[in-house]
Amino acid sequence: MSSTPEAESFNGKVAVITGASAGIGEGFARHAASLGMRLVLADISEKGLLALADELTATGVEVEAVVTDVSSDESVEALAVRAVERFGNVDMLINNAGIMAMGWTWEIPAERWDAMLRINIGGYVNALRAFVPRMLAQGTPGWILQVSSIGGLFPSPLMSPYSVTKFGTLALTESLHYELQMMKAPIRVSVVMPDSVKSDIFVSAKDGGTLPEAQAFNDGLQQRAETQGITAVEHARRVFEQVADGQYWVTPQPEAIDGGIVPRAEMIAGRKTPELNFAV
């Protein structure tokens, strides 16, 4: 186990991570394990989830793997029950599970729009409904991490369902933060704003049909992730470092935000019409 300040904060604590079998979620699981945390890993992908759980367990980490459909409140409630049965309490909830869709807004199938909203927003709400009451009843310090994206600050063409859900995550997280402040609860809330992280999320999002613009945009984002993105474990390391420092806005790659947030605020303040500033 590492002897960093975040290890001192999180060693022995119980973390529930949704979307844990791959990508950013897997990075959270691996780094949390290195900090000495006990893990409840949730994902709809049973094969990947159990493989990761077995690997971490073999290194001495206490892991409970629960196949979970975050879009189902019954499935998420069962996850919470299993977590408490195994470890007695939950100290950290990481809402991370999500999917991607690309294409013209009006051509993305209704069922894909529905899935994005049910998983990327509804899944977070289901987890909050299941875990926040339990964490409040514990009366102990805790953490809730909600994974949004720089896409929650900067809307994008050809991936409007993703932009919608990541903007929604910002609103959901800030509302939750205010509510827990009102209750004087010992639970800190953070919104996580990743940029490019090495993963297969764009590979799995190739559902734009034959639309060449969507395919080219998707390929460009995947190439950017592969060439400029940080690893999922490095992303997790930066996130936990900032969470341990008490940060609400967790920005693992701040340069991705700093260069655009002021011009965007000026655009809004000046009531200027948004303009496309990159080629697709």
Residues 29-87: tens digit of each pLDDT: 999 999 999 999 999 999 999 999 999 999 999 999 999 999 999 999 999 999 999 99
Report yes or no on 154 lying in a domain.
yes
pLDDT tens digits, 171-181: 999 999 999 99
What pLDDT is recorded for position 198? 80
Does residue 1 register a pLDDT over 60?
Answer: no
**One of 124, 162, 178, 248 is an active-site residue; which one?**
162
Task: Look up 162 and say whether it is catalytic.
Answer: yes
pLDDT tens digits, 133-169: 999 999 999 999 999 999 999 999 999 999 999 999 9
Report yes or no on 56 lying in a domain.
yes
Report yes or no on 232 lying in a domain.
yes
> What CATH number corresponds to the domain at position 180?
3.40.50.720
pLDDT tens digits, 227-279: 667 999 999 999 999 999 999 999 999 999 999 999 999 999 999 999 987 65
Report yes or no on 274 lying in a domain.
no
Does residue 225 register a pLDDT over 80?
Answer: no
175 is in which domain, residue-wise?
Answer: 5-269
Report yes or no on 280 lying in a domain.
no
- For residue 182, name the pLDDT band (cuts at 50, 70, 90): very high
In whole angstroms, what is the distance from residue 227 CA to residue 139 CA?
Answer: 44
Number of domains in the chain: 1
Report yes or no on 109 lying in a domain.
yes
pLDDT tens digits, 109-120: 999 999 999 999
Report yes or no on 218 lying in a domain.
yes
Report yes or no on 275 lying in a domain.
no
**pTM score:** 0.92
What pLDDT is recorded for position 83? 98
In whole angstroms, what is the distance from residue 101 CA to residue 158 CA?
Answer: 9
